[in-house]
């Protein structure tokens, strides 16, 4: 069924991994469209990794589109902006996509709210490295690949480390998702510009853009613009394989080196950022648009009209789904993110947040609830695991609750890509049990530290 075009040049990749059906053709041809404004917006204060933002507004206050409504607390935290003109209708607690109920701000839109915003480019000449970092923090920019890690924290490179390569992640290896694909196709100038802004302060040797070979049009578009840059930017085609877009896998594919366990890509001199994140930098420095809207793929076999939509942060999911014609009667799951690592939703009242790369509705044809059989030690999971763990053995240990023994099998290196559960012919919930085990082991480590 996969009909996506193939790139004909040389491709790079990592060892192991899996190849799920891509399903990209549902939305890869859909131009990015703007989500019309809706009645109400819910903006959780903790949309990023790190400390939740500090609310600056109170009930009844008027806010403008692009106005800062929450300040960062501490370094690992970012600002939050209102995506619309409106009135703060409530400062309280709201359900969020990760299942938690967290403090947030509800904004009721003004009937005359428009997309107009006073453009306020930032003068880069006056900005030093420190100023650049705090500007990125105040623009509310986080990694748009899904983890929502504050971007400026990555850019603040410690004294003892150097950034040799800026690596842009345009792999989008999760099936269904096409938001990064469309971003690269429609905004290649902004992406190349973002790299150049970033490199003023990072002073890297070279930039790479890694893109899976199923997006030949995006590869061509970026290659074309990259030639205009004086700073060397190389666009690299990567083999279509999951999890090619995992930071470690992309670095290994491009540089041929492994990120040592417990270390960061920066230890190899690499800084990785999602293409959308880099575009967001260009948007803020050139046009003054903070991160208050993002491109989301709304797709899945149970969505009537799949689309790539520029959604204001805080738009409730049900409104976004309605824009795409609603869901079909046989919808079985609705989730945020991709089908391999995304989070299932039990309520459609939760808002789109900064880390939402996709909104999927799947039917029972894809989400097959199979009988679970005993592990037959076929070793498919061993051949799938991109970081060479032994999921089969760890699964047996997890079933017996032998968490400590799992440490010997390097369970903590697992980044939960779910390739093992995907291939398991016995339908054993491997990665699911590793999440539980990791949670337990982390908690235990904290407890031991506290009592020591």
Partner 1 sequence: MIKTAKLSVSTAPFLKDTDTTPKIMFTVVYTLIPVLLVSFYYFGLSAILVTLTSIFSCMFTEWLFNKSEDRLQSLKDGSGLITGLLLALTLPPGFPLWMVFLGGVVAIGMGKAMWGGLGQNVFNPALVGRAFLQAAFPTAITTWSPPDGGYFSLRGTNAALPFLQGTNVDATSGATPLAKMKFDHVSTDWLDLLLGNTGGSLGETCGLLLILAGAYLLIKKIINWRIPISIILTVSVLSGIFYLFDPSIYPSPIFMILSGGMLLGTIYMATDLVTSPLTPKGIWIFGIGIGILIVLIRNWGGLPEGVMYAILLMNAGTPLINRFAKIRTYGHKK
H helices within 356-425, ranges in order?
Answer: 380-384, 391-399, 403-408, 419-423
Comparison of 289 and 428: residue with beta carbon closer to partner 1:
428
CA dihedral 349, 355, 358, 361 (to 10 degrees): -40
Q: Is 86 in the site for partner 1 (CB under 8 A)?
A: no
Does 400 participate in binding partner 1 (rule CB under 8 A)?
A: no
- Nearest approach, Cβ of 339 to partner 1 (angstroms)? 4
- Of the ranges 133-141, 161-169, 230-238, 372-380, which one interacts with partner 1 (CB under 8 A)? 372-380
Can you tell me the distance from the alpha carbon of 234 to that of 215, in angstroms, rounded to the nearest whole number?
16
- Taking CB under 8 A as the rule, does residue 105 contact partner 1? no
Task: Note whether 21 binds partner 1 by CB under 8 A.
Answer: yes
Q: Does residue 146 bind partner 1 (CB under 8 A)?
A: no
Supply the minimum distance, in Å, between the C-beta of residue 436 and partner 1. 10
Contacts of 371 (CB under 8 A, 6+ apart): 427
**Comparison of 205 and 413: residue with beta carbon closer to partner 1:** 413
Q: Is the CB of 188 or the CB of 386 nearer to partner 1? A: 386
The single residue among 374, 448, 450, 452 that binds partner 1, judged by CB under 8 A, is 374
Does position 17 interact with partner 1 (CB under 8 A)? The reply is no
245 lies in the binding site for partner 1 (CB under 8 A): no
| Contact region with partner 1 (CB under 8 A), list: 40-48, 54-62, 84-92, 319-327 | 319-327
Please identify, using beta-carbon distances, which residue of 77 and 252 lies nearer to partner 1.
252
Question: Which residue among 109, 218, 389, 398 contacts partner 1 (CB under 8 A)?
Answer: 389
Q: Does 373 bind partner 1 (CB under 8 A)?
A: yes
If binding is defined by CB under 8 A, does position 20 make contact with partner 1? yes
449 membership: H or E segment, kind and range: helix 430-451
Asked if 173 is part of the footprint of partner 1 (rule: CB under 8 A), the reply reads: no
Rounded least distance, CB 180 to partner 1, Å: 19
Structural tokens at position 451: 């009592």
Angle among Cα 221, 191, 247 to the nearest 5 degrees reads 100
Taking the least distance from each CB to partner 1, the nearer of 63 and 320 is 320
Q: Give the binding-site size for partner 1 (rule: CB under 8 A).
A: 72
Choice from 283, 422, 434, 437 touching partner 1 (CB under 8 A): 422
Instruction: Rule CB under 8 A: choose which of 160, 329, 451, 452 binds partner 1.
Output: 329
Q: Kindly tell me which of 290 and 358 has the beta carbon lying closer to partner 1.
A: 358
Q: Which residue lies nearer to partner 1 by CB, 70 or 331?
A: 331
DSSP-assigned states of every residue in 171-227? ---SSS--HHHHHHHH-HHHHHHHHHHHHHHH--SEEEEEEETT-HHHHHHHHHHHT
Q: What is the DSSP letter of 142?
A: B
Q: How far is the CB of 52 from partner 1 (least distance, A)?
A: 24
Taking the C-alpha atoms of residue 134 and residue 180, their distance in angstroms, rounded to an integer, is 26
Q: Helices 216-226 and 179-186: crossing angle, nearest 10°?
A: 40
Please report whether residue 2 would count as binding partner 1 according to CB under 8 A: no
CA 53 from centroid of its chain's CA atoms:
19
Q: Which helix (H) or strand (E) element contains residue 333?
A: strand 331-336
**Interface with partner 1, residue 232, by CB under 8 A:** no
CA distance 213 to 53: 38
Q: How far is the CB of 128 from partner 1 (least distance, A)?
A: 35
Among 81, 181, 354, 380, binds partner 1 (CB under 8 A): 380
Which of 227, 364 has the CB closer to partner 1? 364
Rounded to a whole number of angstroms, the minimum distance from the CB of residue 431 to partner 1 is: 7
- Is 368 a residue that touches partner 1 (CB under 8 A)? yes
Q: Which CB sits closer to partner 1, 139 or 431?
A: 431
Task: Say whether residue 421 binds partner 1 (CB under 8 A).
Answer: yes
Q: Is 177 in the site for partner 1 (CB under 8 A)?
A: no
Structure tokens at 90: 């409530």
Interaction between residue 376 and partner 1 (CB under 8 A): yes
- State the DSSP code for 25: G
Judged by CB under 8 A, does residue 147 bind partner 1? no
Find where tokens 């789904």 sit.
321
Examine residue 413 and tell whether it contacts partner 1 (CB under 8 A): yes
């Amino acid at each position: 069924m996969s009909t996506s075009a193939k790139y004909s040049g040389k491709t790079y990749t990592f060892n192991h991994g899996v190849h799920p059906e891509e399903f990209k053709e549902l939305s890869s041809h859909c131009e990015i469209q703007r989500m019309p404004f809706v009645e109400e917006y819910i903006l959780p204060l903790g949309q990023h990794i790190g400390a939740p933002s500090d609310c600056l507004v109170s009930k009844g206050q008027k806010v403008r589109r692009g106005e800062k409504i929450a300040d960062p607390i501490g370094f690992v935290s970012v600002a939050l902006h209102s995506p619309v003109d409106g009135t703060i209708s409530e400062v309280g607690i709201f359900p969020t996509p990760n299942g938690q109920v967290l403090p947030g701000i509800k904004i009721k839109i003004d009937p005359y709210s428009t997309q107009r915003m006073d453009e306020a480019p930032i003068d880069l000449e006056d900005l030093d490295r420190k100023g650049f970092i705090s500007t990125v923090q105040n623009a509310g920019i986080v990694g748009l690949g899904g983890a929502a890690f504050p971007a400026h924290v990555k850019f603040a490179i410690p004294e003892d480390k150097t950034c040799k390569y800026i690596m842009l992640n345009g792999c989008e290896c999760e099936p269904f998702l096409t938001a990064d694909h469309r971003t690269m196709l429609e905004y290649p100038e902004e992406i190349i510009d973002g790299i150049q802004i970033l490199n003023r302060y990072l002073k890297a040797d070279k930039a790479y853009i890694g893109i899976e070979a199923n997006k030949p049009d995006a590869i061509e578009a970026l290659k074309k613009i990259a030639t205009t840059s004086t700073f060397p930017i190389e666009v690299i085609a990567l083999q279509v394989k999951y999890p090619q877009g995992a930071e470690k896998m992309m670095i290994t594919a491009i540089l041929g080196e492994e990120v040592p366990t417990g270390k960061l890509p920066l230890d190899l001199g690499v800084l990785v950022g999602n293409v959308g994140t880099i575009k967001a930098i260009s948007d803020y420095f050139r046009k003054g648009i903070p991160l208050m809207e993002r491109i989301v793929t709304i797709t899945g076999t149970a969505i009537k009209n799949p689309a790539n939509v520029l959604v204001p942060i805080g738009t409730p999911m049900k409104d976004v789904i309605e824009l795409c014609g609603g869901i079909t009667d046989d919808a079985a799951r609705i989730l945020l993110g991709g089908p391999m690592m995304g989070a299932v939703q039990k309520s459609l009242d939760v808002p789109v947040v900064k880390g939402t790369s996709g909104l999927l509705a799947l039917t029972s044809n894809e989400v097959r609830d199979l009988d679970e059989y005993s592990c037959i030690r076929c070793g498919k999971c061993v051949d799938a695991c991109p970081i060479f763990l032994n999921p089969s053995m760890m699964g047996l240990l997890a079933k017996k609750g032998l968490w400590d023994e799992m440490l010997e099998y390097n369970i903590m290196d697992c980044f939960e890509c779910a390739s093992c559960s995907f291939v398991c012919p016995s339908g054993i919930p491997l990665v699911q049990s590793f999440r539980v085990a990791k949670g337990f082991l982390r908690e235990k480590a904290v407890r031991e530290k506290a009592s020591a």
